[in-house]
Amino acid sequence: MRASLLAAAACIAAAGALLPTTAAASFYSSAEVRAEAGGVVLDLRNGQSNSGDGRVPQFAHGEKSWPAGGINTGSFVADSRAAVGSLSASASLDITRALSGVFQVAPDAEVLSQASFRDEWTVGGQPLDTIGRMRITTHFDGSASSSSTVFSDAWGRYDLDVTSLEAFNNVLDSAAYNSQRQQSIDQTATLEFDFRYGRPILLNALLVAVVQVEAPTSTFFSGSGEAAFGNTASITKLEVRGADGVFTTQVDLQTLSGGIYPFMTAVPEPGTAVLMLGGLAAGGWVARRRCGHIGVAGG
Total-model pTM? 0.79
Q: Give the alpha-carbon dihedral of 167, 291, 250, 265, to 10 degrees.
A: 110
What stretches in the chain show pLDDT beneath 70?
Answer: 1-28, 37-50, 53-55, 68, 101-107, 167-170, 231, 265-299
DSSP H or E segment with residue 66: strand 58-66
Residue 266 has a pLDDT of 53
What are the residue ranges spanned by the domains of the chain?
3-298
Nearby residues of 237 by Cβ (< 8 Å), 6 or more positions away: 135, 136, 137, 249, 263, 266
C-alpha atoms less than 13 angstroms from C-alpha of 147 in its C-beta half-sphere: 1
* Average pLDDT score over the chain: 76
CA distance 165 to 14: 20
CB atoms within 10 A of CB 80: 31
CB atoms within 10 A of CB 70: 10
CA distance 124 to 260: 18
Residue 272 has a pLDDT of 38
Cα–Cα–Cα angle for 139, 140, 146, nearest 5°? 170
Residue 243 has a pLDDT of 84
> Contact at 8 Å (CB) between 32 and 87?
no
Residue 4 has a pLDDT of 42
What percentage of the chain's residues is helix, strand, coil (to nearest 5)? 5, 60, 35
Q: What is the pLDDT of residues 120-172, one digit of tens each?
A: 999 999 999 999 999 999 999 999 999 999 889 999 999 999 999 875 556 78
